[in-house]
Amino acid sequence: MEFLSDPQIWISLLTLTALEIVLGIDNIIFISILSSKLPQEQQAKARQLGLSLALITRILLLMSLAWMVKLTAPLFTISGFGMSGRDLILLGGGLFLIVKSTMEIHEKLEGEEEHMKASAKPKFAAIIAQILVLDIVFSLDSVITAIGMASELWVMITAVVISIGVMLKYAGAISDFVHRHPTLKMLALSFLLLIGVTLVAEGTHQHVNKGYIYFAMAFSFGVEMLNLRLRKAAKTKPVELHQSIK
């Protein structure tokens, strides 16, 4: 139990947990958008099941470190360009995310969402299958971060469990907030599109500094929060003016 008194262990645990939560936000957004296509009574269940699958996927990947090492070895070469299993997963996941986000944005802009909801409700199993595909991609990114930051397996697993627990607690609130504000939902879809492009770039060995990506996302989110406050203030002013006239 001497390792529990090592401050480096606790620092790495806290830092890794915080990073896992940040890396999991895009996962929550995607799960929220997909689950919103289901009937109201199934949405919470889909979010909980999706995040639970993410937890299982990440723990299994962490416990398969030998396989993870092999995943970076080139499987085949195209014109001198080596493609590994990790590259294929990132490339496939990125393309899936780009296509899915583009389709969602098109539905919002063309006003087809209500028509589609009325004509054909997506099946619960189909939504969970899509969530599972993206869980694998997002888990890969999360696990690689965990391996790079901590040397103890239990620290990695503990950080993942805590982060998923936090996401499970606040997934409903985040989902409701996103769906109450259509412009925020469009911004979230744009974030997912950006993440998809980043994954494709990583899959083709084009390094992208994620610090720039997260800064751009945080800045855009901050501007949108200001816009929401301005719109709310604009709605309350006519009411206050009407009351003052009375």
Mean pLDDT of 177-186: 78
* The pLDDT of residue 2: 53
pLDDT over threshold 60, residue 118: no
Q: Which residue has the higher pLDDT, 169 or 117?
A: 169
Neighbours of 38 (CB within 10 A): 21
For 20-79, how does the pLDDT look when each residue is reduced to its tens digit (9 = 90+)?
777 777 778 788 888 888 888 888 888 888 888 888 888 887 787 656 666 777 888 877
Residue 103 has pLDDT above 70, yes or no: yes
Backbone angles phi, psi at 181, to 5 degrees: -125, 100
What pTM does this model have?
0.66
pLDDT at 245 over 70: no
Whether the CA torsion 119, 125, 130, 135 is positive or negative: it is: positive
pLDDT at position 215 is 82
Q: What percent of the chain has pLDDT over 90?
A: 0
- Residue 81 reports pLDDT greater than 80: no
Query: What are the tokens at 52?
Result: 């639970």
Q: Please give the pLDDT value at position 155.
A: 81
Using the predicted structure, report yes or no on whether residue 243 has a pLDDT greater than 70. no
Question: For tokens 């620092």, what's the residue?
Answer: 11
Question: Taking 60 as the threshold, does the pLDDT of residue 10 lie above it?
Answer: yes
pLDDT of residue 156: 82
pLDDT band at residue 246 using 50, 70 and 90 as cut-offs? low
Residue corresponding to tokens 């262990």: 9
Judged against a pLDDT cut of 80, whether residue 130 lies above it is answered with yes
What confidence score (pLDDT) does residue 148 get?
Answer: 64
Q: Provide the b/e sequence for 129-152 (b: ≥16 CB within 10 Å).
A: ebbeebbbbbbbbbbebbbebbee
